[in-house]
């Protein structure tokens, strides 16, 4: 069975669009190709990351490692459409590394400006090309058209194995392909911010405690940008709650298990692997009960991407907003309520707007490092950006800035572009 790129290169439906580059070309972050047989994209091309060494000697022990966003696929039709950029905003650049530029731009969290407290760190931006929310451990998966009319194809879902290979490469001391950037060895790190946006947020949620175990000598904190999906019990309408639960079970069975062999948080699997293993596929349950590494959670109550799949289960935007608000308000209390509360040292930082914005970490005004027009949510009556909330929380201060429905405390940025 041929790989997806070989099958579909001349077989995409009419109306398909040409792919982009997967990340904006630039001059700051240099491509580093991973040399690991298991760390491959959907099409078998090698996984890549973009790197930049710390700006100065004082920052050599600081790291930012961030998993790129980009949706996913778990069926023949959705994976075909994703590769072909047919009836979707995604394209083949999210399934291969062959279209990625040699040097990428840096923005938001990765921007090296005076306004960004994280900008001087060693930077690792891991390119997303596995379509599995950074969870997969399975190769050579064959997908067939259930209608029998389209061509079958083979692809790899190796997102978590890519994360493993990234850590292995960073431990050895990684260099960019053009040798312009050489990073110190990760095992010399003193502070690491590990996280991701959207699909990257899902992967980072499941991998954070594992990652902390790889760098025991460093202070590790996580940051999750979006995908705080509501707990079923926080969905008020009984019919919608049941539909939401069915969807969670279906995704676990059909995607996480059958296709991806997904890596899920180990302590969650130990607790629920028998009776209710699907709970461990729900990131909000994992964050609220099983992630013991300190983390910062950034979310929007009216996230349009999350509404897309919530509405496909029959929900309304009002139901989603109300449910996410309830779930988000649980976060500051996890030291008292989590299943693993005895292992949790401090409450998460929480920044929840109501702006209809999906992800923010690489967007200057939404993250809060633009010259003006930065988005904020009020904290104790004072507006605070995502950036400033993260800085304050990492410094040891409690941060729980959560807007309401309808919005009363958010000041939204002028644009809605994610990146």
3-state SS of 191-245 is EEEEEEECHHHHHHHHHHHHHHHHCCCCEEEEEEECCCCCCHHHCCCHHHHHHHH
> Are β-strands 153-157 and 25-33 bridged in parallel, bridged antiparallel, or unpaired?
unpaired
The pLDDT, as a whole number, for residue 417 is 62
Any bridge partners for residue 64, and if so which? 123, 193
- Per-residue pLDDT averaged across 261-271, rounded? 98
The pLDDT, as a whole number, for residue 257 is 98
Residue given tokens 């019919």 in the structure block: 239
Is the per-residue pLDDT at 419 higher than 60? no
Average pLDDT, the chain: 98
d(CA 394, CA 271): 29
Mind listing the pLDDT tens digit for each residue in 83-109?
A: 999 999 999 999 999 999 999 999 999
Q: How far is CA 63 from CA 124, 194, 254, in A?
A: 8, 8, 36
The pLDDT, as a whole number, for residue 273 is 84
Is the per-residue pLDDT at 345 higher than 70? yes
pTM of the model: 0.98
The pLDDT, as a whole number, for residue 96 is 99
The pLDDT, as a whole number, for residue 274 is 85
Q: DSSP code of 132?
A: B
Q: Which helix (H) or strand (E) holds 163?
A: helix 159-172
Any bridge partners for residue 352, and if so which? 299, 402
Mind listing the pLDDT tens digit for each residue in 363-413?
A: 999 999 999 999 999 999 999 999 999 999 999 999 999 999 999 999 999
């Amino acid at each position: 069975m041929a790989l997806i790129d070989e099958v579909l290169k001349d077989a995409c439906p009419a109306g398909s669009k040409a792919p982009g580059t997967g990340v904006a070309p630039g001059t700051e972050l240099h491509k580093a190709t991973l040399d690991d047989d298991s760390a491959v994209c959907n099409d078998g091309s090698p996984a890549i990351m973009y790197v930049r060494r710390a700006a100065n000697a004082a920052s050599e022990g600081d790291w930012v490692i961030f998993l790129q966003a980009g949706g996913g696929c778990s069926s023949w039709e959705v994976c075909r459409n994703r590769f072909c950029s047919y009836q979707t905003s995604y394209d083949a650049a999210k399934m291969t590394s062959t279209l990625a530029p040699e040097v990428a731009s840096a923005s938001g969290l990765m921007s090296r400006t005076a306004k960004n407290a994280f900008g001087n760190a060693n930077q690792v931006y891991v390119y997303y090309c596995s379509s599995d929310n950074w969870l997969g451990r399975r190769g050579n998966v064959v997908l067939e058209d259930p209608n029998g009319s389209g061509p079958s194809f083979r692809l790899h879902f190796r997102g978590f194995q890519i994360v493993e290979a990234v850590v292995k490469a960073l431990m050895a001391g990684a260099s960019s392909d053009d040798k312009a950037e050489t990073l110190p060895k990760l095992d010399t790190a003193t502070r690491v911010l590990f996280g991701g946006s959207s699909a990257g947020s899902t992967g980072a949620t499941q991998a954070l405690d594992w990652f902390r175990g790889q760098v025991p000598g460093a202070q590790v904190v996580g940051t999750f940008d979006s995908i705080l999906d509501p707990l079923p019990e926080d969905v008020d309408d009984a019919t919608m709650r049941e539909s939401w639960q069915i969807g969670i079970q279906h995704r676990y069975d059909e995607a996480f298990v059958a296709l991806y062999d997904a890596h899920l948080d180990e302590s969650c699997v130990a607790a629920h692997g028998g009776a209710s293993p699907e709970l461990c596929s729900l990131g909000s349950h994992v964050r609220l009960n099983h992630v013991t590494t300190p983390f910062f959670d950034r979310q929007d109550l009216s996230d349009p991407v999350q509404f897309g799949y919530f509405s496909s289960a029959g929900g309304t935007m009002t139901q989603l907003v109300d449910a996410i608000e309830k779930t988000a308000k649980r976060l500051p209390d996890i030291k008292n309520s989590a299943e693993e509360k005895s292992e949790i040292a401090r409450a998460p930082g929480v920044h929840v707007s109501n702006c209809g914005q999906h992800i923010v970490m690489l967007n200057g005004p939404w993250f809060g490092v633009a010259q003006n027009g930065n988005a904020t949510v009020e904290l104790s009556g004072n507006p605070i950006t995502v950036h400033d909330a993260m800085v304050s929380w990492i410094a040891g201060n409690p941060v729980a800035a959560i807007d309401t429905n309808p919005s009363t405390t958010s000041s939204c940025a002028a644009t809605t572009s994610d990146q």
